[in-house]
Structure 1
């Protein structure tokens, strides 16, 4: 029986590069998934599903090539992350959200929160 060894460092490095390319808004759900995956409270099967989804998103491997099929090429990645985030929201804690927001503030310091003024 072989033991599956996941390379979290390689995945994290690719998530960082990808996040800086796509910006704060697109990076937030990916980073939330990262923290859910790294949580000791997340079941192993869910960690594997998150790892597979994130790896498919940030590594240069595509089932549908975005260069040949511009709009359709992004759909497989969007669907993958959307489905996995919907399944994993039950594991997202306020502490994870805070850590993600802190990291995003560090990466994207030009971001300002807009205040909604009610009249």
Structure 2
């Protein structure tokens, strides 16, 4: 079987993902980071890597089919749909190690996050 060439610039994509994730918040960043680390895993099939790459590139690069600025709610639909479909297709490749790595990054980026609701009277 012929080995696929490594044509993805992971460093440039990672920089764009970091910018995007820090702007959008923890909840939105989580599936994006999970997909990124699945894509960079040696055990992920090449076909899944290309699917993830196309989804993440569409999400973080300034190219839109539906402009979110002109169509606020509808403009996010294409990105959400793309992310959801890709996540569902490749989530079988998410390992506990990837989940831990993502949670560690999110804890560093969003230290104010607490999974508990504080009730004050």
TM-score by length of 1: 0.91
Q: Distance in 2 between matches of 1:7 and 1:95?
A: 23
Listed one character per residue, the Cα deviations across residues 42-79 of structure 1 (whole Å, up to 9, x for unaligned) are 00011011000000001110011111111111100000
Measured after TM superposition, the shift of residue 113 of structure 1 is 2.2
Aligned CA RMSD, in angstroms, stands at 1.2
Q: Could you give the per-residue CA deviations for residues 3-45 of structure 1, whole angstroms, max 9, x where no partner exists?
A: 6721111110000000000000100000000110000000001
- Equivalent of residue 102 in structure 1, options 101, 104, 107: 104
Divergent runs of 4+, >4 A: none
Q: Any stretches of 5+ residues in structure 2 without a counterpart?
A: none
Structure 1: 5+ residue runs without aligned partners?
none
Any idea what the Cα deviations from partners look like across 1:51-109, whole Å, max 9, x if unmatched?
00000001110011111111111100000000000001100011110000000000011
Q: 2:40 aligns with which of 38, 57, 61?
A: 38
Shift in alpha-carbon separation, 1:99–1:4, aligned structure 2, 3 A:
closer
Q: How many residues align?
A: 113
